[in-house]
Copies of this chain bind each other. A is one copy, B any other.
Amino acid sequence: MGQGDYRILHEAALRDYLAGLPELRALLGGEPAAWAITEVGDGNLNLVFIVKGTRGGIAVKQALPYVRLVGESWPLPLSRAHYEYLALSRQAQLAPGLVPALLHHNETLALTVMELLEPHIIMRKGLVAATPYPRFADDITTFMARTLFFTSDLALTAAEKKEAIAAFAGNHALCKITEDLIFTDPYRIAEQNRWTAPYLDALAAALRDDMELHVAISRLKLKFMASPEALIHGDLHTGSIMVTESQTRVIDPEFAFYGPMGFDVGAVLANLLMAYFASAGHERSPGERHAFEGWVLETVEQVWAGFAGKFLDLWRAGASGDAYPVSLFAGEKGAARLEAERQAYMQRLFTDTVGFAAAKTIRRIFGLAHNIDFELIEEPKKRAVSEARAVRLARGMMVEAVAFRTIADVTGAARKLRDWQPELSG
């Protein structure tokens, strides 16, 4: 099939298509006519169908040649389905059980069939409902440590790494969305920006005028564009994670490419911190969500500590890549010096992580894509208060990232802002 054979598979066409695939047909069970097909895509970009037969269910994701949320006026290449498939395959190898199993892929249709995650829900929804996820920190840190370490220069030869970078180079249209919407637009006047007006008007104007912040975001943008450290998920927020109390699954790696590791780790931390600041806006009585909020900050700490610990353990267990060759660190003295350098490496990665977490926060409050953590706070003034607290922390994290030496510095600063009363406009 050529590129021209792409067509959008809505319900009937999808049913026919799946009926023609014996393995999926067997998996679903029963007659195709009896399969229940529901479009569930709450995402911004693609179609997602859930298909259920008498025996089992599947999820079917198809890319559209444009941004779903906006329409045909904003075209987006179908090739993103190829990169999502490529990334998902790699993640499944490296972090088995932490992504949905791949069942089928059709390059021409930009279509991927995967395991139906059930009864998993999008984690962000659970966080709004103040649900703690006891498995989350352990699972997400395993996912990040393994996918990042094993695609980095610590695990790959330089040749393998260059080939892998090249294999994802074509996903630049998706990178461009990030470059614009996260690293540029929130800091200037842009049509697509929005915020909780009028309350945050002055804050929005202040950010647009804050040149220290503009330097900091520009450095982060450059790092995002030109630091292919590892295969990153590229969109690792709590809307890309599906959970139950006992399971964690990472979905939707269509933004994947070789980029800075701190972007993934920072995304997870930022989304937890936003859940923390949003929490006050969701409480119906003072202190109602106190235990949950404690769990969130504890989880922030566990995410960094767990990630760093697991990443370091993988490194210590043997780095087959071309970076930091063990032959240069022979003997006891060499081993000790290498261990100190590993710690320094993680400290640099922590600084990146702090900065990227800040960038991920600010874009959710002043950019195009907001999140339900804040959006579901009905009273705008209350929402603005929560958002202003998150922004205050983020501004400090971005401009003075190095001043945050440990993750406790971050959670400590967040805790101090829990009841801070910002001055609002309007």
Which residues of A pack against B, CB within 8 Å?
153, 158-159, 161-163, 165-166, 169-170, 172-173, 175-176, 179, 184, 187-188, 209, 211-212, 214-215, 217-218, 221-222, 225-229, 257, 322-325, 327-330, 333-334, 337-338, 341
Contact = CB atoms under 8 A, between A and B. Distances in A.
A325 B218 contact: yes
A179 B229 CA distance: 17
Contacts of A341: 215, 218
A118 to B, nearest CB: 37
B227 A227 contact: yes
A211 B334 contact: yes
A161 B225 contact: yes
Given A175-B158, A329-B214, A323 B225 contact: yes
Contacts of A214: 328-329, 334, 337
Contacts of A187: 328
A176 to B, nearest CB: 6
A169 B166 contact: yes
Contact of A184 (B170, B257, B325, B330): B325
Contacts of A173: 159
* Most chain B CB atoms below 10 A, which of A215, A226, A330: A226
Given A153-B226, A214-B328, A215-B337, A162 B184 contact: no
Contacts of A325: 184, 188, 218
Contacts of A159: 172-173, 175-176
A176 B158 contact: yes
Contacts of A227: 226-227
B188 A172 contact: no
A379 to B, nearest CB: 33
